[in-house]
Amino acid sequence: MEDFVRTQGVTYSYTSEEGDVNFALNGVDITVKKGSFAVILGHNGSGKSTFAKLLNALSLPTGGKVWIDGMDTADAERTFEIRGSVGMVFQNPDNQLVATVVDEDVAFGPENLGVPQPEIVERVEQALTAVNMLKYKKRAPHMLSGGQKQRIAIAGALAMHPKMIVLDEATAMLDPRGRKKILEIVTRLNREEGITIVLITHFMEEAVDADQVIVLSDGQVLCQGTPHEILTDQAMLKKAGLLPPFAAQMAMELREAGIPIAQTCITTRELVEEICRLQ
Amino acid sequence: MPIAVENVSYTYLPGTPFEHRALKDVSFTIADGEFVGIIGHTGSGKSTLIQIISSLIPQTAGRVLIDGVDYSQKDADKKKLRRTVGVVFQYPEYQLFEETIAKDIAYGPRMTGIPEEELENRTQVAMELVGMDYETYKDKSPFELSGGQKRKIAIAGVLAMEPKILIMDEPIAGLDPLGRESLMDLVKNLNDCGMTILMISHNMDGLAEYASRILVMNQGELMMNGTPREVFREHEALRAAGLDLPEAGQLVEALRAKGIAISEENIRFDEVKEELIRMLGGKAHD
């Protein structure tokens, strides 16, 4: 499969008032396949959000290269095309909802792309349907819950017909139900519409169904692999300032107590199967 | 400083098309030194409730007594209330503004007229409580810190007021796993020192671990009021209120659905682990 994202030796540095050079990213090499679901995990301040902004040329790396669908993000002539193909959803939906009515907000992106009016109406309907918010299309965004607002923000990105959506801690402010809903929607967009997903989070359980998990720590890729490889590697997670998800932690501690539970459990479902097998 | 909430109701935008009864006849009491968790779906009235308890908005009906005093009365000593009840809002680090960490923490007490010589002492104690070394950090800018550290400084600013009651609205939102753990430990320590804690949270596991009591809000009503064990065994009622069980409780429920006889009383990680070890014949730790 083709790479949709490729970064090579990416650094992002800034100079503090005292003149010290700080590296938010330091030599990041990542590839994300077209149509895949990648999760980036990392502690607060690991460089996750800085990385997210490089993926649609909101920022440019201070060293190294970022290619999106084969286009170099530093090539100013491709900026428009890159932004059109990579939708972003940030942590706080209040910072990215712009209109006073839901459907106008979702239409904002395609309007700026110059999409003809009848097609905009169609795209807005489709996008709101995809996030299960069509019946709210004439509501005011500020009257919605956080999770609903975040679904509107995703619809806004979808209406641009992106090839990839980057979610930068988009579930951090939501309650558990709101979080689950967003994850369901994103997973469906990935599987059914083939949209490449980069989900940045520090909820470990959001990584269990990913195709690829990347762990960032202090601006570098500490480890990457499948959810099973990453989420059961306690030593590595600890080094990254993270903790395994509940089921993986439980499986590990049961093993330590001498119970022969497979080390590969990362979900409650898998753990239940293992316990049933041992009964 | 016990808290008594008596028949409190609150209506947003009364007499408009958006009229909404956010709280309906809510009553409960909290004794000194308790650690009370408040859980509820988005829009269940949790935040309105703590705003009323801390006298930031006036209730539409009913009353709140803190140590027997109704601070919604015009002649009440609001300054005393602000010293007694500390409130940590969601994302409190957005409120940091001073040049140095020490100045930011001292701001509240300074404004209430605490003498300069005592301010330094209070700042130092507050920083110790949140686990930030005074000498290392006092002269740094709060904006140079990581997200989790900034939040601790914001909390230290509230602690410098030496409150008897600490009210927190989802203090772990946006923190990474270790940040969440360390903040829950901090709150536990404050509680062990005798501070009454009232915490809104979606973190069922943290509350199962630390809270002495849990209030469940649903559509503006107080739906349940009991120990974590009493509350978290009501699976159906919690689901109906849009809430989930702690992870340990979810595992127990899934095992029971497969016919494995594990007790529903287990709601904490260690409890479930110990019972599984007994059942599966491993070596339990003491």
The string of DSSP codes covering B29-74 is EE-TT-EEEEEE-TTSSHHHHHHHHTTSS--SEEEEEETTB-TTST
Number of structural domains (chain B) is: 2
Which residue from A147, A250, A272 is facing B42, i.e. has the nearest CB?
A147
Q: Residues B212, B276: one domain?
A: no
Q: How far is CA A269 from CA A1, A191, A224, B257, in A?
A: 30, 21, 24, 12
Residue A66: per-residue pLDDT? 97
Mean pLDDT computed over A91-117: 91
Mean pLDDT computed over A139-158: 90
Residue B26: per-residue pLDDT? 98
Q: Which of residues 55-114 of B touch A (CB under 8 A)?
A: none
Q: Residues B164, B57: one domain?
A: yes
Smallest CA–CA distance, residue A64 to chain B, in Å, is 26
Percentage of chain A beyond pLDDT 90 is 80
The pLDDT confidence band at residue B283, using thresholds 50, 70 and 90, is low
The pLDDT confidence band at residue B284, using thresholds 50, 70 and 90, is low
Hey, which residues does A67 pair with through a beta bridge?
A6, A72
The pLDDT confidence band at residue B174, using thresholds 50, 70 and 90, is confident
Mean pLDDT, chain A, rounded, equals: 93
Cβ A84 vs Cβ A203: under 8 Å: no
The pLDDT confidence band at residue B52, using thresholds 50, 70 and 90, is very high
Pairing outcome for strands A220-225 and A37-42? unpaired
> Considering only CB atoms, which chain A residues are within 8 Å of B254?
268-269, 272
Q: Residues B163, B285: one domain?
A: no
Element (H, E) at A162: none
Q: Residues B271, B212: one domain?
A: no
**pLDDT tens digits for A168-216?**
999 888 888 888 989 999 999 999 999 999 999 989 999 999 999 999 9
Would you call A259 and B285 a contact, using CB atoms and an 8 Å cutoff? no
Distance CA A237, CA A251 (A): 15
Would you call B255 and A272 a contact, using CB atoms and an 8 Å cutoff? yes
Query: Domain A3-241 has what CATH class?
Result: alpha beta
Q: How far is CA A4 from CA A9, A68, B156, in A?
A: 17, 6, 45
Residue A223 pLDDT more than 90?
yes
Chain A contact for B277 (CB, 8 A cutoff): yes
The torsion angles phi and psi of B185, rounded to 5 degrees, stand at: -60, -40
- A37-42: strand order across its sheet: A86-89, A164-168, A196-201, A37-42, A212-217, A220-225
Hey, which residues does B26 pair with through a beta bridge?
B8
Hey, which residues does A214 pair with through a beta bridge?
A40, A224
Distance CA B133, CA B218 (A): 41
Tell me whether residue B92 is in a domain: yes
Would you call A43 and B276 a contact, using CB atoms and an 8 Å cutoff? no
Domain that holds residue B275: 246-286
ipTM: 0.85
The pLDDT confidence band at residue B53, using thresholds 50, 70 and 90, is very high
Which residue from A172, A241, A257 is facing B285, i.e. has the nearest CB?
A257
CATH of the domain at B53: 3.40.50.300
Smallest CA–CA distance, residue B114 to chain A, in Å, is 33
Chain A contact for B179 (CB, 8 A cutoff): yes
Chain A contact for B276 (CB, 8 A cutoff): yes
Smallest CA–CA distance, residue B277 to chain A, in Å, is 7
Chain A contact for B272 (CB, 8 A cutoff): yes
Cβ A102 vs Cβ A141: under 8 Å: yes
Distance CA B48, CA B38 (A): 12
Distance CA B87, CA B154 (A): 11
Q: Residues B84, B204: one domain?
A: yes
Would you call B176 and A146 a contact, using CB atoms and an 8 Å cutoff? no
The pLDDT confidence band at residue A165, using thresholds 50, 70 and 90, is very high
Distance CA A62, CA B213 (A): 52
Tell me whether residue B186 is in a domain: yes
For chain B, report the end-to-end CA distance as a whole number of angstroms.
Answer: 38
* Amino acid making up residue B178: L
Q: Residues B124, B176: one domain?
A: yes
Q: Residues B269, B218: one domain?
A: no
Mean pLDDT, chain B, rounded, equals: 92
**pLDDT tens digits for B129-152?**
999 999 999 999 998 887 788 999
Q: Could you tell me the two tokens for B28?
A: 């409960």
Chain A contact for B286 (CB, 8 A cutoff): no
Q: Which of residues 199-238 of B touch A (CB under 8 A)?
A: 202, 204-205
Q: Residues B65, B149: one domain?
A: yes
Tell me whether residue B235 is in a domain: no
Q: How far is CA A134 from CA A106, A125, A131, in A?
A: 11, 7, 8
Buried b / exposed e along B259-271 (16+ C-beta atoms within 10 A): eeebeeebbbbeb
Q: Residues B286, B161: one domain?
A: no
The pLDDT confidence band at residue A227, using thresholds 50, 70 and 90, is very high
Closest by alpha carbon to A272, among B146, B235, B280, B8?
Answer: B280
Distance CA A144, CA B82 (A): 32
Testing the interface with B: which of A16, A17, A43 to mutate, by most B Cβ within 10 A?
A43
Residue A16 pLDDT more than 90?
no
Residue A116 pLDDT more than 90?
yes
Residue B286: per-residue pLDDT? 45
Closest by alpha carbon to A29, among A6, A12, A56?
Answer: A6
Smallest CA–CA distance, residue B216 to chain A, in Å, is 15
Cβ A49 vs Cβ A227: under 8 Å: no
Boundaries of every domain in chain A: 3-241, 245-279
Cβ B143 vs Cβ B175: under 8 Å: no
Tell me whether residue B39 is in a domain: yes
- B165-169: strand order across its sheet: B85-88, B165-169, B196-200, B35-40, B213-218, B221-226
Hey, which residues does A224 pair with through a beta bridge?
A214
Find the chain A residues whose C-beta atoms sit closer than 8 A to any C-beta of B.
42-45, 91, 143, 145-147, 169, 172-173, 175-178, 202, 204, 241-243, 246-247, 249-250, 253-254, 257-259, 268-269, 271-272, 275-276, 278-279
CA A92 centroid distance within chain: 14
Testing the interface with A: which of B176, B207, B250 to mutate, by most A Cβ within 10 A?
B176
Would you call B254 and A268 a contact, using CB atoms and an 8 Å cutoff? yes
Cβ A219 vs Cβ A25: under 8 Å: yes
CA A66 centroid distance within chain: 17
Percentage of chain A beyond pLDDT 70 is 100
- Residue B57: count of CB within 10 angstroms of its CB: 13
The torsion angles phi and psi of B89, rounded to 5 degrees, stand at: -80, 175
Would you call A43 and B179 a contact, using CB atoms and an 8 Å cutoff? yes
Would you call B273 and A278 a contact, using CB atoms and an 8 Å cutoff? no
Which residue from A175, A275, A276 is facing B42, i.e. has the nearest CB?
A175
Q: Residues B141, B209: one domain?
A: yes
CA A222 centroid distance within chain: 18
Mean pLDDT computed over B230-245: 93
Q: Residues B57, B179: one domain?
A: yes
Q: Residues B261, B134: one domain?
A: no
Residue B214: per-residue pLDDT? 98
Tell me whether residue B237 is in a domain: no
Residue A28 pLDDT more than 90?
yes
Residue A32 pLDDT more than 70?
yes
Torsion of CA A73, A78, A83, A86, to 10 degrees: -70
Tell me whether residue B241 is in a domain: no
